[in-house]
Each structure stands twice: as structure tokens, then as C-alpha cells.
A and B are shown apart, each in its own frame.
Chain A
Amino acid sequence: QQKVQQSPESLTVSEGAMASLNCTFSDGTSNNFRWYRQHSAKGLEVLVSIFSDGEKEEGRFTAHLNRANLHVSLHIREPQPSDSAVYLCAVSIPSGGSNYKLTFGKGTLLTVTP
């Protein structure tokens, strides 16, 4: 069964400094990776999706995928206090026709201080 782990559990950065979040997954056939953000008591907002090794940029958010290392990361450039939220990594696998099913990590709580 796919396991998705995120680190660190919490991260505090100063406004304008780069924030880096990590996610490891256990199933090497995973082919669909997404980063979501969740502000307190709100729904999930998709930030960036990545499907092949390398880098994918969406505005200030950049995802890096290395499937050989079972690792995907999210880097936030010039974070603002409004970026303070829980960041969730989600992974799906193509096998058995169930690639619709996302497995989520438990999240990283990011706090951006002014």
C-alpha cells in the first residue's frame, strides 16, 4: 500500500526567504504528483502538478520530482504571510485502473513571519 510521508511537520520561514518542503513515497510506479495548500478550515487549493522527472513551475511554486529517489519537493519563492497554511503532497499510481485515487501525506504546516 502506498505510503506518503512529508517533512518537516512544521516549518517557519521569514517573509521573502525560500521555503522547501519534502515528500517521499513508497510506490515506484507512482506517476501523478500534486501539491495542495489548505488554509485553516478551508478546502484544498492545488498549487502544482507534476508527472515526469524534473521541475515544474507555477508562479512562485516549483515542484521537483525524482522518481528514482521516490522524492518530490515543493519550493516556494518569496513566501508571504498569506502563504501560511498546511501544504499537502498527493500521489497516485497507474496500476489496476485506480490512478484516480490520491494518497495524501499528513502535511507540512508552514508559517511565514513578517
Chain B
Amino acid sequence: NAGVIQTPRHKVTGKGQEATLWCEPISGHSAVFWYRQTIVQGLEFLTYFRNQAPIDDSGMPKERFSAQMPNQSHSTLKIQSTQPQDSAVYLCASSPRDWGTNTGQLYFGEGSKLTVL
């Protein structure tokens, strides 16, 4: 079991450029999450997919952030016109069942550290 794989591990972009982050969930997992982690805010929920369908994107900044899950083996988080305040570690997580049950477990990747200069 390779775990949740996130690429790139580190990305540096200039202000105004686009950044795309990739996540490969654990094979067979039906739920995929994106979280953002900063020193000031801690871990914040961004968005949730279940069986590839978007379920909740209430944590996503609406104008520049978008997430997709085109197939069960990967999800992408795209940030357009990046700003310095977007600098954070973006964590992807997957779960082997319909997350929300008491027995469901969430497995996190090691994160993609985005730095916007």
C-alpha cells in the first residue's frame, strides 16, 4: 500500500501564476479530501469528493481555487493567479468508505508545499 501520493512536494511560483497540485488516493478509496495547512490558521477544510463527485466545496476560496476528480485514481487542486497568502501546505486525504461513519478512517498524504513569491 503506497499511501496517498501528492505531487509536487514543493512548488514555488511567482505572484499571478497558476499552480496545479496532484493527488493520487489510495486505490479503492471512495472519499477524497483537500485541506490547507498554515501556521496561522492551522488545518482548514477545502473540499470533498465522494465516488469522484464533488460533495462539498464550502472551504474553497471561490474565485481562484478549483478542484476536480476526473477519475478514481487522481484529483487536482488548481489555484489561478496565485497570491502570497496562498502559500501553505496543501494536504490530500482519502478514506476507504463513505467517510462520516464512526469506523471510517482518513489517510493523509505528505502534502504539497506551495510558496508564492
Contacts and interface: CB of A to CB of B under 8 A. Distances in A.
A92 B31 CA distance: 16
Given A32-B102, A46-B105, A46-B106, A102 B45 contact: yes
Contacts of A34: 106
Contacts of B55: 100
Among A36, A43, A103, A105, the most chain B Cβ lie within 10 Å of the Cβ of A43
Interface in A15-52: 31-32, 34, 36, 41-46, 49, 51
Nearest to B42: A106
B91 A98 contact: no
Contact of B105 (A49, A51, A105): A49
Given A99-B100, A100-B100, A44 B91 contact: yes
B43 interface: yes
Dominant SS among interface residues on chain B: strand
Contact of A104 (B43, B109, B110): B43
A88 interface: yes
B99 interface: yes
Interface in A39-77: 41-46, 49, 51
A41 B42 contact: no
Among A92, A101, A105, the most chain B Cβ lie within 10 Å of the Cβ of A101
Residues of A in contact with B, size category: 20 to 34
Interface string B53-97: 001100000000000000000000000000000000001010000
Contacts of B44: 104
Contacts of B42: 88, 104-107
B100 A44 contact: no
30 contacts: A32-B102, A34-B106, A36-B108, A42-B110, A43-B91, A43-B108, A43-B109, A43-B110, A43-B111, A44-B91, A45-B108, A46-B105, A46-B107, A49-B102, A49-B105, A51-B102, A88-B42, A88-B43, A97-B100, A98-B56, A100-B33, A100-B48, A100-B55, A100-B56, A101-B48, A102-B106, A103-B45, A104-B44, A105-B42, A106-B42
